[in-house]
Structure 1
Amino acid sequence: MLRWRRRTPARSANTVVGDVVGTVIQAGHIQGPVTIHTTETAADEADALAEVVRRQWADEAAVRLLRQPEPLRLRWSTTGRPVTGRPAAVLGAAVGGRPLRLRLHGFLEDVVELVVRLPHRQLVVLGEPGAGKTVLAILLTLGLLQHRRRAGGPVPVMLALASWDPDAEHLDTWLNRRLVEEYPALGDVAATLVAAGRVMPILDGLDEISHARHAAAIEALDRAGAGGRPFAVTCRSSEYEAAVAAGGRVLATAAVVEIEPVGVEDAIAFLAAGTVPGDGRWNPVYAHLRAHPHGPLAAALSTPLAVWLARNAYLHPDTDPADLVGFTSAHAIENHLLDRLIPSLYRRVPPGPTSRTSPRYAPADAQRWLTFLATHLHRQHTRDLAWWQLHHAVPPPVTGTIYGLGAGLLTGLGVGLAGDAAGLAGGLPLLMTAFIAALVPSVVFGLIVRFAWSARHIPGRTVVRLYGRLRQLARTTGKRLPFGGCISVVVVLATTWLTGFGTALLLGAGSGFAAAVVAAVADWSTVPVDELSAPSPVSVLRADRSVARVRALTQGIGLMAAVGVLVGVVFGDIAGLAAAAVAASAGALAGGFDSAWGLFQVARAWLAMRGQLPRDCIRFLEDAHRRGVLRQAGAVYQFRHARLQDRLVHNGDSDGATPS
């Protein structure tokens, strides 16, 4: 229980005391037009969002095994750094007219009570790398959701701050964008929830923003706090102190607490809980920690991340944890543990449901693939591993060539078949006619896809509804007309030598217009993926795969009908049937691969061929998540900790094995 006390001359130390006791878990780690919604609608959407967020982070806490085998006792207390506002501003008013001092302390799960009791519900959590800030943020999110069920209030939503540029984007605009990205089903309701104060952002990783923008971020958060917005934000201690010093501004109404280092006995208790009875391998480590409580090993194991790494790195009975005693620096110990983690985790079966068909990955292969992924994310300047962004790891000419050759060869085959049926081939063999006709389309389609696919990377779902969407269909058709123009050029260049320019121009105009219309219909029937009920990488992939199938069917049937009729009218029924058959295949190919799922198929095939990822990379990512190497944040994966990602990148560079 938290008690706010008045400062008296006799007991000046007892101004504000957090007398809290609890059980602690293991720490591992608007812009545009806005539609106005009724209060009832916004309330219903907020309730739905709260349930989704609860399931999302409850599942993630279970996968991370945060409560097994025994909780790691972690404490927080008011920071001693000069980064806190005046106590009277944080608490809302001085008690009895006297000045106050903040003196708060407690265990991790007690932070929920702290936030609830704070009048402004604004909190900053500081800690060293691996101190458990993200786990605290997860606990706070889940705890505030439970409190909301009883007492109401805004929906706590945990978001990573790395993508925010406070110099270019207002906090509310960023919140709206991130909510739509994480929970696309919200749509424009997200802006309503943000504007109405129905969302409480739990912002993880202020230090992940560019150092040059830290001060601007604090200023923006302070303005939001002055407007009454509740929030919580986590940050590394030294980065936050430097940002406050650089900007000369604190979060005036926010309490600032800092996670304390893990004590020697707490670390020993946690390590011992993960061993079988009679296992004495850790005894030299325990003895060393007690004999040298301020030595390098104790310093290394002072964070939850390092303690978790140590237990998992030496979980197998043929390993010897006594190796840790011989290191002379805490940094070297942490690097050693990070290097051992993946080989150790991939020596055993992952937790969760398994079967005879469950994947088994060699540690060396897993190390190579994860190193590639870490390096890819590093080059993209992100911590989020999204399957629909993996095409950035493939050279654009490769995707253009694959798509261009496929579409070009089909176009050439159609021209060859139709020309042969119409008697226009001039005695040339069918294959020769098709080859000549495919040369130009292959090149042009390759150039088209290089630009078209660069923007087609957002997963979607299919919605066919006319009411209220006809104007959108018209706008979508207008946007697709340049694409149709490109198709027209392709057809004209491929057929002029057979039919003459006039007929080729007629065929090109008709084919291009048909291609634009059917592509526009496919675009119009696709909206951002609706995964509010279960946001996960796999569910988003399945939804977009369905989109690809619908697009393939729509564009295949549309082009088959349009091109078949057009060619049939000009050159006869047999030529029309031949052209229709090939147009159906070309339309299906273009529609299926003109999606996030289609581009992902090309990317994963290329990366698997080069040995940079396994053939079924989604299955590999799911397995890495179950093993604890990756964590899930909505529809994307992240490495369990930024230090692990950075270490893999460093090792890949130093070994000269960084994928190109």
Structure 2
Amino acid sequence: MNRKRVASAFTVLAVFVLVGTSLWFFVTGKGLQVAGMAAVASALGVITTVFVDKVLPHTQRTLQAPDALQRIADAVRVEWSEELVHRFVATERDLVAVRWLPRTDLAGRLGDSDLLISGTMRDVSAIVDQFMQLRPRRRMVLLGRPGSGKSTLAVSVVIKILDHPQYRQLAVPVPLSLSSWNPNAVALRDWISRRIADDSFEYVKKDLDRGEWLRIVQRLVTQGRLLPVLDGLDELAEKVRVRALQDIEHTLGGQDLVLACRSEEYSAVKEAGGVLTGVAVAEAQDIELDRAVGYLREMTSNATSEQWIKVYSDY
């Protein structure tokens, strides 16, 4: 319900009562009772103020943080499960078994121990388990060549976290493409809040208007209740990448985080002064030829056809 509309409605009602009462006093000749008319108008004004400023906010606050987080999680699950289907990924079996190994030269450190993440695209659950065991913060960077599966793994990790038994102990993961962010024009926290609010508004629009929902999301972001899964640092203009990574570290340094980027570009940004602290870094490995052929054999329904046999025979 929109507070301004309700306030306007009450104001109009107060005016009608005021005019009607004035006419009645004039026709009946009870001019001395104008004081009563003024009292009625004053009372209506007080009621309007109290209702708008006290009752309405109480009604709107019935969407508490757990409910708001659940609606965002629902929005993420629907949108990004569909995205995986569009990428022809219905199950982990549909993923080529790309191996992910630690990049200790790029990782942050916790005491004397490297923060390590490793696994394969066929066992995303194992990667998520390792991610959830990271301390004191869960922060992971996924690197790889173009087309190596960084974005697909990032989205798969999001869905696995939402399915994880300990999910409610975590911030709600939300995939966000950095390509739409201008670090020189918009503060990261504001950009994250507006993107999430816009993407999930469909799930709350019956209860809240956009402005109210944005304010709720802003509080959740500030409180660290949402886990940004940022993809595409390499898609930003080269001249702003260092600034972007510095802003990410400054704004989200104390929060959980997932970042996906091309290996070469991330290394260049780090060498130029951009840095994320306390992160585990995993990099996609090139696929061996026999692994690629095995995947094609497994996933191709007509793998025994004459055309495919001819392809495989060359290897």
Aligned equivalent of 1:510: none
Counterpart of 2:150 in structure 1 is 133
- Superposition misfits of 4+ residues, deviation over 6 angstroms: none
Q: Which residue of 1 aligns with 2:276?
A: 251
Q: 1:222 aligns with which of 234, 237, 249?
A: 249
Tell me which residue corresponds to 1:396. none
Q: Is the 8 A contact 2:148 2:284 kept in 1?
A: yes
Render the CA deviation track for 1:25-53: whole Å, top value 9, x for unaligned.
xxxxxxxxxx9985961221111111121
Q: Is the 8 A contact 1:84 1:250 kept in 2?
A: no
Q: CA–CA distance in 2 between the matches of 1:72 and 1:149?
A: 27
- 1:115–1:123 contact (8 Å) kept in structure 2: yes
Does residue 1:234 correspond to 2:250, yes or no?
no
Give the Cα separation in 1 of the matches to 2:247 and 2:313. 49
Question: Could you tell me which of 78, 85, 91 is aligned with 2:102?
Answer: 78
Counterpart CA distance in 2 for 1:265 and 1:189 is: 51
2:118 corresponding residue in structure 1? 105
User: 2:42 matched to which residue of 1?
Assistant: none
1:261 is aligned to 2:277:
no
Tell me the equivalent position of 1:202: 229
Supply the distance in 2 between the matched residues of 1:210 and 1:218 (Cα, whole angstroms): 12
**1:146 aligns to what?**
163
Say which SS state the counterpart of residue 188 (structure 1) adopts: helix
Q: Structure 2: where are the runs of 5+ without partners?
A: 1-56, 206-212
Whether contact under 8 Å (2:162, 2:172) holds in the other structure is: yes
Q: How many residues align?
A: 242
| Aligned residue runs from structure 1 range 359-438, under 5 A | none
Shift of 1:143: 1.0
Are 1:118 and 2:134 an aligned pair? yes
CA deviation profile, 1:104-144 (whole Å, cap 9, x unmatched) = 42113032112211111111100100000111111111011
Mapping for residues 583-602 of structure 1, pairs under 5 Å: none
Q: Secondary structure at the match of 1:162?
A: helix
Structure 1 unaligned blocks of 5 or more = 1-34, 89-93, 291-660
User: CA RMSD of the aligned region, Å?
Assistant: 2.4
d(CA) in 1 for partners of 2:285 and 2:88?
22
**Preserved CA contact (<8 Å) 2:71 2:200:** no
* Cα contact 2:303–2:309 (8 A) shared by 1: no
Equivalences for residues 492-507 of structure 1 within 5 A? none
Distance 1:140 1:170 in 2: 26
Partner residue in 2 for 1:47: 70
Q: How far did residue 146 of structure 1 move?
A: 1.6
1:112·1:140 contact (CA, 8 Å) conserved in 2? yes
How far the C-alpha of 1:198 sits from its partner, in A, is 1.3
C-alpha displacement of 1:284 = 4.3
Deviation at 1:145?
A: 1.1
Distance 1:51 1:262, change over 3 A: same
Q: 1:103 to 1:57 in 2, by over 3 A?
A: closer
Deviates more, 1:151-160 or 1:232-241: 151-160
Q: Contact 1:76/1:106 (CA < 8 Å) preserved in 2?
A: yes
CA deviation vs aligned residue, 1:568-625 (integer Å, no higher than 9, x gap): xxxxxxxxxxxxxxxxxxxxxxxxxxxxxxxxxxxxxxxxxxxxxxxxxxxxxxxxxx
Shift in alpha-carbon separation, 1:50–1:236, aligned structure 2, 3 A: same
Distance of 2:250 and 2:259 partners within structure 1: 14
Distance apart, 1:149 and its partner CA: 6.1
Alignment partners' CA distance in 1, 2:140 and 2:167:
21
Moved more, 231-240 or 159-168: 159-168
Q: TM-score, normalised by structure 2?
A: 0.70
CA distance in 2, matches of 1:101, 1:192: 33
Superposition deviation, residue 70 in structure 1 = 4.4
Higher RCO by CA contacts (8 Å cutoff, separation 6 or greater): 2
CA positional deviation for 1:166: 1.9
The aligned counterpart of 1:61 is 84
Q: Distance in 2 between matches of 1:114 and 1:179?
A: 26
Larger Rg: 1
How far is 1:148 from its partner? Answer: 6.6
1:219 & 1:174 partners in 2: Cα distance? 15
Distance, in Å, in 1 between the alignment partners of 2:148 and 2:80 is: 19
What SS does the corresponding residue of 1:183 show, helix, strand or coil?
A: helix
Contact residue 203 and residue 232 of structure 1 kept, 8 A: yes
